[in-house]
Amino acid sequence: ETGVTQTPRHLVMGMTNKKSLKCEQHLGHNAMYWYKQSAKKPLELMFVYNFKEQTENNSVPSRFSPECPNSSHLFLHLHTLQPEDSALYLCASSRPTGWENTEAFFGQGTRLTVV
Amino acid sequence: GQQVMQIPQYQHVQEGEDFTTYCNSSTTLSNIQWYKQRPGGHPVFLIQLVKSGEVKKQKRLTFQFGEAKKNSSLHITATQTTDVGTYFCAGFSGGYNKLIFGAGTRLAVHP
């Protein structure tokens, strides 16, 4: 148990569906991340939030829409996805840079399949 | 932007043999972190190196940070089947909290 909880663990959705991934942490961290992990690619950073503000959008298509209502919760809203978006989506949190320990704590991930 | 490169992509060893993975950054890093991801699992933090030339050990694992703070290595002595997984290095890019991961080295250990 890392202290970072992601739901759902598995999701199958059609290309016309709208769904949301949820991430929650109660570690007191102020930085939260979304990563995409595909079978043939490394961990790809998608979005970074610091103190609820989006500080990084790594050229992610607009069919992925993040939301961070507070420092403990992070969402990834999905709509009109493509089959190539099927992957493991990982949420992580950490202390902000400048602190002594900035290791990322990952959730278990959501295995997404787009059909 | 910053790139973090890692080699090899894959290595399989016989149990008891040593293993090393190397990480190189295109820019100087403030620190470097190492993670392990077991098959079917999520990345788990192993260690962070901050100082130039720093060496840290965790049992059979030895982590090294280069003098120029642009490269790092992880060495496992006498591998065991429990060492199986993918090992990632990660460093912060110029952006605030932009943690970039290397491609990872997948280690297979044959008994």
Tell me the pLDDT tens digit for each residue of A70-115.
999 999 999 999 999 999 999 999 987 666 678 999 999 999 999 9
Using alpha carbons, select from B101, B84, B88 the residue that is nearest to residue B44: B88
Q: Which of B29, B93, B97 is nearest to B67 (CA)?
A: B29
pLDDT of A58 > 90? The answer is no
Q: Which of A43, A56, A107 sits opposite B101 (nearest CB)?
A: A43
Of B95 and B61, which is predicted with more confidence? B61
What is the distance between the alpha carbons of residues A64 and B11, in angstroms, rounded to a whole number?
35
Judged by a CB distance cut-off of 8 A, whether residue B7 touches chain A is no
Q: Using alpha carbons only, give the angle A21, A102, B105 rounded to the nearest 5 degrees.
A: 75
| Selected residues 53-82 of chain B with any CB under 8 Å from a CB in chain A | none
Cis peptide before A61 (omega within 30 of 0): no
Which residues in B lie closer than 8 A to residue A106 (C-beta atoms)? 42-44
Alpha helices in chain A, H assignment, sequence order: none
Quote the DSSP letter at residue A115.
Answer: -
How many whole angstroms separate alpha carbon B34 and alpha carbon B50? 12
Does the CB of A97 have a partner CB in chain B at under 8 Å?
Answer: yes
Q: Do A104 and B103 touch (CB under 8 A)?
A: no
- How far apart (Å, rounded) are the C-alpha atoms in residues A101 and B31? 10
Residues of A in contact with B45 (CB under 8 A): 103-105
Distance CA B92, CA A106 (A): 16
Handedness of CA B103, A96, A102, B51 (dihedral sign): positive
Confidence of residue A39 (pLDDT cuts 50, 70, 90): confident
Q: Which two tokens stand for residue B95?
A: 């952006």
- Per cent of chain B over pLDDT 70 is 95
Question: Per the structure block, which two tokens stand in for B71?
Answer: 């490269």
pLDDT digit string, tens, across residues B19-31:
999 999 988 888 8
Q: How high is the pLDDT of residue B30? A: 86
CA distance B37 to A24: 21
DSSP annotation of B102 reads: P
Is the confidence at residue B5, as pLDDT, over 70? yes
* Whole-angstrom distance, CA of residue A40 vs CA of residue A59: 19
Label residue A35 by pLDDT band (50, 70, 90): very high
pLDDT digits (tens, 9 = 90+) for B41-78: 999 999 999 999 999 999 999 999 999 999 999 999 99
| Close Cβ partners of B71 (under 8 Å, ≥ 6 residues apart) | B22, B23, B24, B25, B65
pLDDT of B96: 67
Pairwise CA distance, residues A78 & B47, whole Å: 34
Burial class (CB in 10 A: 0-12, 13-18, 19+), B106: middle
Q: For all residues of chain A together, what is the average pLDDT?
A: 92
Query: What was the pLDDT predicted at A84?
Result: 94
CB contacts, 8 Å: B98 with chain A: 45, 48, 55-56
* Per-state percent for chain A, helix, strand, coil, to nearest 5: 5, 55, 40
